[in-house]
Structure 1
Amino acid sequence: MAWNEPGGNKPRDPWGGGGGGGDQRPPDLDEALKNLKDRINNLFGGKSGGGGGGKKPSGGFPGGLLAVVLIILAVGYVLMGFYVVDQSQRAVVLRFGEFNRMVDPGLNWRAPIIEQSMKVDVGQNRSYELSEEMLTEDTNIVAVTLEVQYKVLDPQAYLLRVGAPEAILEHATSSALRHVVGSSTMDGVLKDRREDIRLEVRERLQDYLDRYNTGLVINQVVLDKTAAPEAVRDAFDDVAKAKEDEDRFKKEAEAYYNSVIPQARGQGARVEAEADAYKARVVAEAQGDAARFNDMVTEYRKAPEVTRQRLYLQTVSEVLSNSSKVLADIPNGDSLMYLPLDQMLKGRAGKSSGQSGDAGKAGGNLDPSSAGADDGGGSRQAPRSLYQSNRTEIR
């Protein structure tokens, strides 16, 4: 029979505490659970059943506390969903592992457990450097160092379309560079086509990344270094220096050509101009001499004797003006005479060119009496300064 059934002589403690120690049994499990429930109800403000008549206590978990707990859980769930996206970032939200939306910078919310957000820095400038030795079109080996600067353009493609975008970038860069270098000669890679190679590699690499749908965009491709292999670098450096010297000599020769040819052409033009001027002067002088001779013939026909005398005096004057000898009439008894010979000799050269013109002008106005006196027999006497017997020669 149970411990709490009527008819027993001694009361029994359900926890084994009271009565004698002879007939002790383990407590009833149902009663222990009921007592535990009463204690929990008392702890949360519930009421336990009163004693008497073996009635079971009544009570339960209050509904108001349950609502509070649910509200607290809901608020915590909502707060857990807030997250911040930086200005240089974009976020991709997945719902049950599938793409749902793209999130812009700022404060955003996602449903925890149901949704997941992944951030990508789209403002960061990233770089990748490649150094390889490769074969050129003319079967030479060159060492090329290339730097690729890129950014994330499409976060969705970058995160979800491919598994390793950077690895694809590395392989695509190597493939594009080998294709372009393999289509160029060694001289073109080392010196002549560096800029063209850089542009071709950038264009081909961007095409590869777009076809693989990596979400990456190439900002710049920098061809840092192109050189021959280490084992033969000295020989190639000598060849490169020789070619640079050749180019320098060619440029110097072209500069010399550009400076000498115009100068020679200018001198030729000047000589031609001087020749034309000389031709015009000679022709003009000849025409003037011819016109003067014609005029002289006319005058001679009018007065032959006077014209003959004038021509004689003019000729003698020209001959004496070009001579280094000085003829002077010295009066009788005056044997000392000072002449500035040095000044006279210097002045002869300047006056000789103008004497012929002056004599020509004065020839038409010659006074017949000035050339000499008529001796009555129709002939004239020469001036005394030319035929006087007592003349003295001074050297």
Structure 2
Amino acid sequence: MKKDNLEMAWQEPKDSQGGPSGNDGRKPHGQGNGSGPDLDEIFKKLGGAFRGKGGHGHKHQGLGKYVALGGAVLLCGWLATGFYTIDAGQKGVELLLGQYHATKDPGLRWRLPSPIGDHRIIDIQRRFSQKIGSIAKGNRRAAMLTKDENLVDVSVEVQYQINNDKPMQYWFTSVDPDKTLKEVVDSATRERVGQTTLDDILTDGREQLMQEVKELAQSILNNYEIGLVITNVNLEDAQAPAAVQDAFSDAIRAREDEQSRINQANAYQSKVHEEARGEAERVLRQAEAYRDSKVAQARGEAERFNRLYSAYKVSPEVTRERLYLENMEEVLQNSNKLYMGSGSNNLMMLPLDKMMNGSGMNSPQESNRLLAPKTETPAAQSSVTESVIQVQPSNVNDSRSRARITR
């Protein structure tokens, strides 16, 4: 009886969608009045598939393994996106949920993948540069007021880099750190220019002015903690107002000429000092050479005297005669004298040396007169005697030492 009732229930007419048309064509309780799937049935089927139960247990069990394997691969790939590399000269700043987490040194690093974690690479060795005051505003550069109430147009170049110790400040402290630095340097320049005279800015006070600007700007940046370090501040140009530009240009040229003259004077001074030192050294060397020559000459004369003395002890007469002849030869070597022995005849000697000289040639009559034989009269002999010098040394033998010295 129960079996017949069950068959009759399954054989009831169905609606247009294949369901039983009981209850006035309405679907059974729990299926609703729409055409969507039953969520309870779907969850039951999925649970059975993962548990390996049901009529298709083996098929559902293999599908679960593939799903788990795919999920593991996706998880590993997602975690692998957290690896990154930091090169030399760089530093990494890691973020966790948008907040600063840590600073990393160069090398291979890992952080939590996005969207949980993130990182920033900062080049700490790069040098940045900005020019301040060189951008025209209304066809005029930024003018600044000096200590002596003059206007000056100043162009400054600032060079800076990211702080090596605190690179995270560059990212998190200020919205635009570069613009902040530019405004700070401009403010510091105006303050220091206001404490400096125009003459110092245009002439020899530039280096000190830029050093003061650098120190003041760096102090302000440290208070702001924006992670920037100023390396150098250069004054590219500084011009006086147009009304006094010519006068200041003349003053600058005069100072340059003064410095040029000073440099020339220093160069000349160095040159003269070097020449004086060289001349003094040369005189000293000459004096030393003269001293050495005199010492050598004195030693030679002393040696010669010793040898003569040795010879004199052996033969006094011969030594005295040789010394006499040597001295006479040395004394009379440049005089026009004739030496004759006392036993020779009184012959008229011709001045051959003068006759050989073109300017001293005698006339033919004079030559004949000189060559003509004549006898000497007592008066002539007396005149000859007056022009003859008798040399009779007492220490020389009469047969060899008597001589007549005739002009």
TM-score, normalisation: structure 1: 0.51
Greater Cα offset, 296-305 or 179-188: 296-305
Contact kept in structure 2, 1:121 and 1:152, CA below 8 Å: no
Check if 1:130 corresponds to 2:135.
no
Check if 1:161 corresponds to 2:179.
no
Q: 1:292 to 1:120 in 2, by over 3 A?
A: closer
Contact kept in structure 2, 1:300 and 1:307, CA below 8 Å: yes
Cα shift at 1:173: 0.8
C-alpha distance in 2 between matches for 1:266 and 1:100: 74
Q: Which string of whole-angstrom CA distances, capped at 9 and with x for unpartnered residues, describes residues 97-134 of structure 1?
A: xx3635978885345xxx797x7663375443211443
For structure 2, which runs of at least 5 residues remain unmatched after alignment? 1-14, 47-66, 134-141, 358-390
Q: 1:241 to 1:57 in 2, by over 3 A?
A: same
Match 2:21 to one of 32, 37, 51: 51
Check if 1:226 corresponds to 2:202.
no
For structure 1, which runs of at least 5 residues remain unmatched after alignment? 1-38, 343-371
Give the aligned residue type for 1:173. V
C-alpha distance in 1 between matches for 2:185 and 2:393: 121
Check if 1:62 corresponds to 2:62.
no
C-alpha distance in 1 between matches for 2:153 and 2:43: 74
C-alpha distance in 2 between matches for 1:318 and 1:106: 112
Give the aligned residue type for 1:228. Q
Check if 1:380 corresponds to 2:392.
no
Contact kept in structure 2, 1:136 and 1:184, CA below 8 Å: yes
Cα shift at 1:277: 6.5
Cα shift at 1:86: 9.2
C-alpha distance in 2 between matches for 1:265 and 1:382: 61
| SS of 1:173 mapped into structure 2 | helix
Cα shift at 1:179: 4.1
| SS of 2:27 mapped into structure 1 | coil
C-alpha distance in 2 between matches for 1:306 and 1:80: 132
| SS of 1:109 mapped into structure 2 | coil
| SS of 2:216 mapped into structure 1 | helix
| SS of 1:322 mapped into structure 2 | coil
Give the aligned residue type for 2:330. E
RMSD across aligned positions (CA): 5.9
| SS of 1:214 mapped into structure 2 | coil
Give the aligned residue type for 1:122. I
Match 1:252 to one of 261, 264, 280: 264
C-alpha distance in 1 between matches for 2:305 and 2:144: 94
Give the aligned residue type for 1:62. D
Match of 1:33? none
Contact kept in structure 2, 1:92 and 1:156, CA below 8 Å: no
Q: 1:120 to 1:381 in 2, by over 3 A?
A: same
Match of 1:148? 158
C-alpha distance in 1 between matches for 2:196 and 2:18: 96
Of all paired residues, the percent bearing the same amino acid is 30
Contact kept in structure 1, 2:151 and 2:241, CA below 8 Å: no
Cα shift at 1:258: 1.6
C-alpha distance in 1 between matches for 2:188 and 2:170: 21
Q: 1:107 to 1:276 in 2, by over 3 A?
A: closer
Contact kept in structure 2, 1:84 and 1:107, CA below 8 Å: yes
Q: 1:247 to 1:339 in 2, by over 3 A?
A: same
TM-score, normalisation: structure 2: 0.50
Match 2:228 to one of 216, 225, 228: 216
C-alpha distance in 1 between matches for 2:18 and 2:103: 55
Give the aligned residue type for 2:101. R
Match of 1:109? 113
Match of 2:378? none
Greater Cα offset, 185-194 or 52-61: 185-194
Q: 1:204 to 1:106 in 2, by over 3 A?
A: farther
C-alpha distance in 2 between matches for 1:190 and 1:374: 98
Cα shift at 1:261: 1.8
Give the aligned residue type for 2:130. Y
Match of 1:35? none
Q: Which string of whole-angstrom CA distances, capped at 9 and with x for unpartnered residues, describes residues 285-327 of structure 1?
A: 899999999999999999998887666544432232122x263
Q: Which string of whole-angstrom CA distances, capped at 9 and with x for unpartnered residues, describes residues 66-122 of structure 1?
A: 899xx9xx9xxx999989989687564546xxx3635978885345xxx797x7663
Q: Which string of whole-angstrom CA distances, capped at 9 and with x for unpartnered residues, describes residues 344-384 of structure 1?
A: xxxxxxxxxxxxxxxxxxxxxxxxxxxx9999xx9725647
Contact kept in structure 2, 1:172 and 1:209, CA below 8 Å: yes
C-alpha distance in 2 between matches for 1:176 and 1:302: 108
Total equivalences in the alignment: 298
Q: 1:334 to 1:327 in 2, by over 3 A?
A: closer
C-alpha distance in 2 between matches for 1:162 and 1:294: 107
C-alpha distance in 2 between matches for 1:66 and 1:238: 97
C-alpha distance in 1 between matches for 2:287 and 2:127: 74
Check if 1:316 corresponds to 2:328.
yes
C-alpha distance in 2 between matches for 1:161 and 1:299: 114
Contact kept in structure 1, 2:93 and 2:168, CA below 8 Å: no
| SS of 2:144 mapped into structure 1 | strand
C-alpha distance in 1 between matches for 2:103 and 2:349: 133
Contact kept in structure 1, 2:146 and 2:196, CA below 8 Å: yes
Give the aligned residue type for 1:147. E
Match of 1:327? 338
Give the aligned residue type for 2:238. A
